[in-house]
Structure formats: structure tokens, C-alpha cells
Structure 1
């Protein structure tokens, strides 16, 4: 990969720091400029990461810089307008999730990129966490058998019980009418599809434990897959985990198959327990750098490699729309109290 891609970024909010740090470590990328309406904050970010030009108008930035790609790190309600501006100029796109406020708008966003023949990747980074890449390898080699029966993921973030919950990091969480599934559960939907295949039915119970916020902060979701496998997501942001860093793996995972079990621990450790044999640790070294196993870097590295080698993105627009369809089915099930086919 000798060619260097020239990029621009929009957004300097909380999570943007992980994007800028990751771009700085990829030698095949040069970030030419960044944009945000908050000029003072944007200037400080540009100074930190040695980015030469700061804008408050993203269309002006696109016109003047003429980049190969744009990294969109802004709230979901802004994504469609930025994608339209980039796409009509022939600029390729990597865009943070949630992709859009609604499934209809997400479809319009993907259609816009397709219409202008620009490449679109959704920055869905959880599947790039090192433990999931390792688990995927174990599943692909039938480490616990050809047939998977069941998986259970338990998440307890402990950042949502306070009266001022989320104010220190992402205060807009408090006013989101949809929170846990829309903001966090979508990660699990994508990761489960990456590991287990296509979802055909969901059944969900959604709850709000913290009365100071608007959206749901707890969920019990059962997903049924084409293979017949069932997966349970047991998640809330209210109660606390007993691990040192609840934002490392975000929880614990159990996968059961016809010949044994795989377990992911909160510290990133993975074990395999074949039927009738002792449990053994899987030897690998998950990164402790940056966010959640350095998954932002791995996500953006995948984007760069796919661009330079003209290979498909794992999380392209068409793939990601299916995630949102599953998400919408979960909300429908939560409202109706009934299983919903996807």
C-alpha cells in the first residue's frame, strides 16, 4: 500500500478523539483538514494532531481540499446532509453510527452514495475488537462443533444510574428517546451477525431504570438466527460491572455449541471448554491501547486497506441497513410485547 489517501474529518466531539489518534498512526493517510461549528474546540484538536486547516463549513472544506474521503464523526441527524455534499463531489465516505435517525433516512443515505458511485463504510468498530476476531476464527474452525446452540451476552455499564448520568462524556444521551438499542445495541446486532449469521426473529423487553433520562437503558433481547441458534442480549447501562474497566469488552459472552463452549471474560480473556474436557485459555494478546482493544484503529485500517486494494468493506451500506432493520424489529417487539420476524 504505497499510495497515500487524503482525508478530511467533520466533528470534534467526545468520540472523535479516538478517530484522530487512529488516523495519526496510519502512514497511508494524511488528514488535510477538519471541520466543526465550534471553532475554538476544532482549532485545539487540529493543533494536537497537527492538522493544517480548520473549517466551520464542511462544503467549503470539501471544495477547497478535494479529499479522497471524508470521516463523518457527528450526530446522526447531520449525516445525510454531509453524505449528500460528499457524494455529489465524488468523495468516498466513512461514517459513524448511529447511521441516521430513522430506517427511511438511513436508506436514503445509502442510496445517495450508490447513486453517485462513491464508497461508503459505516464506522462500526465492535466487530474489530480483537476478542471477536479471535472468536470468529475459533468458530470458523469448528472449535466447539459445527452446530451452535446458544449465546448469551451480559453487559452492565454502570454509567447510567446517577441523576446526572452521561453529562461528563455524552450529555445528549439524556434526551435521546431511543438510547440503549439505538446507541449501544446496534453494536451487538452487527457483531452477532458477524459471528453467527442472519437474524430471522427477535423478541424484546425494553425498560427505563433512570427516570432522569428519556430513552430505554435496559433490555433483554432474544434473537433467533437462520441456523436455529438463539442469542440473548442482557444489557443495561444502570447497574455496575465488577471488572476494572467496563468499557474494555463491555461485558461477558458465552457461546455454546455441539462440542463445547467458548467464554469471553471482561478482561478480554477467552477460554474454550470442549465437552468432557477441562477449560483452556486461548493464547492471544488483545491490545490495551486506546478504546476497547484498539478497535477504532483496526476499523479505520480496514477502511484504508479496502480503499487501496479495491476490496469490499465489511460494514458497507447494504450490510448496515440490515442491522437497522433488526434494530427496528427490536423496538417493534418491545412496544408490542410480541416476537417480530425480520
Structure 2
């Protein structure tokens, strides 16, 4: 595998963890380090076997051919650096906090989006091995299906003297917003990762060390959308009993309706179901690098997603949710009252996936029945073949005793759908399991709705549209059934060769007997820009119907910030 070449910007304290992780990744080659302190950049380059050191990122980008940039500098510098990377069209992974304030962070994310570059925030706490393990345990239902409380107690003890933070990250001393913005954002993201979105916060802050500008003690209470509560009790002034309080950065207790999970400060996980003794969860967290080697895990996620074209877990748009909660926490502390979080309002885009019904459509006839001039109103008589245009097949279409269109469950017709881009396809191509799995990084799971993009609708009106359509192989049809897929949507007028009755019957029967809803004759899938959309395709309630034309649409969402 060819290594991806990158530039690291920043030669401060935390850059050591980044460079150490990059050096241990076989598929990455860091070719340059940049820092305005060129002596520091050269020293770091020498220590981590990096070929070149530069005083500015612009100089490095002009001199090196790279595939990504890693920004490891204080937050006030991030906007200008990301803006520069955007001009070069490169993906970027940027340390948190993303910016000194929410407005600047939103502008930064917008700059990346408008330039079309991929942006990931280097938020590594959720990638700590104990949090990954606990997430899997929660998803498995080990402490039930209802979360009650997540609580964390943090005592770092690195900020109690007159020289606090000078030896490691001296800019901490001058941050007017410190503990929530610099450290708390990690826990806010981790809470969201484990328990979902946060709707309300109640926060109190104190400054215990007069040698610094910002708060160093925080009590943060959050309310999750699912009804759970989160508590972060944190101080950087007082100490912990742990020999390494920066390993897990705190102890955790996660309570559900059937039990409790604990994470100790040494990374040990224990589980107790209600009424039972605690047991140890066996796993092997690393002692290498930073905090369970989470920097390495984070950066490997960045590289893996770059190679596979998958979305980052901590992309810029999602990370703004953390910063909105940070802002709400400071607002709450200032007002000494609970504050509702400013969530984004979904801005929905509707894409019509249906072929127009008119007299040019085979199987359709639209004629005037009444007119305003003669009758006082307009009305038409519409005659439709049950499988014309964009339509849905009922099991009765190929199974004598199968369900009729009015008997089919409505739940399958509406919901999230995954878009699989198969373009380009060849005339009469037989679509296989390998063709599907190699065309998407998304897992195919029970209950999925799948929209197969082929751009075949563009042949509508030509003989090739019906007579040389790409079709689903019997093996692929059975694979969809085995995967318990709920719905398949295709652009050709059929899932199988309409000129081969044996193939036509076999593929339809496999899918329909396997409870897979078939929607055929879709259009405009090339207008979808997201891998997952909301899909709606509703047939008329025709008694004993074997199929029916549908109005199929997809809904895509973007976000606009607003106060709730």
C-alpha cells in the first residue's frame, strides 16, 4: 500500500504524540514539520525522522507534494491555517478546540465546506479504548435498553502552583475560557458518543488558582434527548489518587435500567447487572502513547476514512454540536440557571425520484374529461398500467397467493435509505454481490432500504431502457433476502430481464417471497449527494392490486443553527 504523505503544523508539546503515532503507521509518511519557531521544528523533525522543517505552512505546501495536513497549534491559529489548506484543496485533521469561539468555528467549517475539502477534528477522547469498549457494551444491551446516568469525576492536579502549565502548555494560563473549552469539550463529545444528543445544560465554574485567567473547576450537569442525565465534576487544581490521572482523565460510572458499568482511572472496566456481583470486562487497553494510544487510533481513523471515502466520526459539522454545548455551559454559568442548547434546524431538500406520468409514458393515458370552459372545472381521466413508470411490485405480481398492494406494511415504504452508486454500468450488466459490496463502504444491515444508482433513467424513451437494462442476479437477490433487506429501489423498469421470462420470474420470486419490497423505474438518483437519505414511496390503496405507480422522493438534510 502506498503511504499517504502529510505535513504536521506545530512543534509544541502535544505534537510529540501526533508525530509518534504517525511514525508507527505503515501507511503514512510525514515529510515536513512547520513552526514559526524553526529551531523547535528542526529539533522535532530530527527526533521523529522527518525530512524537512519549515517556518511557515505556505512554504511547506509550495515545496512538498502531500495528501493531507495535520494542524497541532493553539486554537487562535486554526482558522488561517485551515483557510490556507483549503486553497490547496487538501484534507485536514485539526486539533481541538477548533477555534476560540463558536462563530469562528462555524466560519472555519464553512470555509472547508465551500472549498470541498474534508475536515476532521482531532477529538481523541472518544477513541480511547475504554470508551470504545463501553460503547460496544451499551449497544449490546448489557445494562439494559434505557440509559439513566453517565457521571465522570476528573482530578488532574496539574494546575495548583504559581507555575501551573508553564512546563507543558503555557498558553493555558492566558485562556479566559479554560477548563470547559479546553478539557470539557472532550467529555462533552464523549458523552454524546456514548449517550446521544444533549438538550440542556446547568453549569457552575470557579477559578481556584489566581495565576491563571480562566476557570479550573467545573460542575456540569447535562440532559440528554433520550432522558438520561450526565454529570462532569472536574478540577485541574486538586489531585487524584491515581499514579497517572492523565491516562483516563477520570473515573466513569454509567447506569442503565438493568445495571452499571464502571471505568476506573487505570482503565479497568467492571459490569454489574442489578442484583449481581460486579465482573471485570476483559480487554487490553494500550499503555503506549497518549491515554490508551488514542492519538494513534484517532489518526488511523482519519487515514482509513480518507482511503475508503467514509465520513469521519468527528467531522467539522458534527463537532460544532460540541461547541454549541460549550457555549451553553458558559451561558449557564454566567446566568446561574439551566440553558437550552442551540441545536441546528434541519434544512430539508426534496428530490423527486419519479418519472413523470404523461401520454409519452408506456402504459399511461391522460385525457381531458372536464374543462373550465365547458363544465366549470378541469378534470382528467387517467389510465395506468399497474407497473408503468416509477412503481412498486406487490408479491401478488408473481405469486398467486401473495400479498396485494393494499395488504403490504406501510413501514417499509418510508424511512432511511442507503444510496449505492454503481455507475457506470454496462448494457445488460448482471449485478452481483461483489458489485454491490465493492461499490459502498456502508454495511448492509437488517431492515435496510437500498437505492441502486445506475443513471439508467437517462435512457428513458430509447429501446435500450427496456431491452438492455442492468439487472439483479439471482444470487444477489438471495443475498438481499439473507441480509433481510426491507426494500430495493432500481432505476430500470424491472429488476430482471423483461425479455427472459425465466430470469424475470426467478428474481422477482426470490425477492418477493423474501419480503423485499421492489420499487422500479426510479429517476434522478444522480441528484443525491449523501450516502443516506430519507426515502418515501407510497402506492395507492388498490384492493387486490398486484402493483401500483408511486410518487418516490428522497429527503436530504443540512443544518442551520437556531435557538430552541
User: TM above 0.5, one fold?
Assistant: yes
Q: Is this contact kept in 2: 1:3–1:308, CA < 8 A? A: no
Higher helix residue share: 1
Q: Distance in 2 between matches of 1:139 and 1:10?
A: 37
Give the Cα separation in 1 of the matches to 2:25 and 2:296: 8
- SS of the counterpart of 1:206? strand
Q: Distance in 1 between matches of 2:65 and 2:182?
A: 32
The SS at the match of 1:256 is strand
Q: Deviations over 1:293-328 (max 9, x none)?
A: 000000000000000111110000111001000000
1:10: which partner in 2? 9
Where 1:143 maps in the other structure, the secondary structure is: coil
Give the match for residue 143 of structure 1: 142
* Structure 1 residues 134-186: Cα deviation after superposition (integer angstroms, max 9, x where no partner): 00000000110000111110000111111211111111111110110010000
Q: Where does residue 241 of structure 2 map in the other structure? A: 242
Partner of 1:29: 28
Structure 2 distance, partners of 1:8, 1:170, is 22
1:127 paired residue number:
126
Tell me the equivalent position of 1:155: 154
- Greater RCO, 1 or 2 (C-alpha within 8 Å, sep 6+): 1
For the residues of structure 2 that align with 1:289 and 1:299, how far apart are their CA atoms? Answer: 14
Q: 2 CA distance for matches of 1:243 and 1:341?
A: 35
Q: Counterpart in 1 of 2:101?
A: 102
Q: Which residue of 2 aligns with 1:227?
A: 226
Distance between the aligned counterparts of 1:84 and 1:144, measured in 2?
A: 45
Give 1:20's aligned residue.
Answer: 19
What is the CA–CA distance in structure 2 between the aligned matches of 1:112 and 1:171, rounded to whole Å? 29
Alignment RMSD (CA, Å): 0.7
The residue that corresponds to 1:270 in the other structure is: 269
Q: Which residue in 2 is equivalent to 1:93?
A: 92
- Note the alpha carbon deviations across 1:18-50, whole angstroms, 9 max, x for none: 000000011111111111111111111111111
Q: Residue by residue, what CA displacement relative to the aligned partner does 1:256-282 show, whole Å, maximum 9, x if unpaired?
A: 110000000011000001001110000
2:70 aligns with: 71
Give SS of 1:140's match: helix
Distance 1:33 1:42 in 2: 9
Deviates more, 1:59-68 or 1:127-136: 59-68
Q: 1:263 touches 1:270 (CA, 8 Å); kept in 2?
A: yes
Structure 1 runs (4+) deviating above 4 angstroms are none
Alpha-carbon distance in 1 for matches of 2:286, 2:3: 26
Equivalent-residue separation in structure 2 for 1:132 and 1:57 (angstroms): 36
State how many pairs are aligned: 341
* Long gaps (5+) in structure 2: 342-564
TM-score (normalizing by structure 2): 0.60
Aligned-partner Cα distance in 2 for 1:91–1:29: 15
**1:66: how far off?**
3.0
Q: Does 1:336 align with 2:335?
A: yes
Does the alignment pair 1:288 with 2:287?
yes
1:103-155 per-position Cα deviation (integer Å, ceiling 9, x unaligned) = 11001110011101110000000000000000000000011000011111000
Contact 2:150 2:191 in 1 (8 A): no
SS at match of 2:326: helix
Matches of 2:207 and 2:38, distance apart in 1: 36
> 2:250 is matched with which residue?
251
The residue number in structure 2 matching 1:307 is 306
Asked if 1:279 corresponds to 2:275, the answer is no
State the Cα distance separating 1:3 from its structure 2 match: 3.4
Aligned to 1:114: 113
- Alpha-carbon distance between aligned partners in 2 of 1:66 and 1:80, rounded to the nearest angstrom: 22
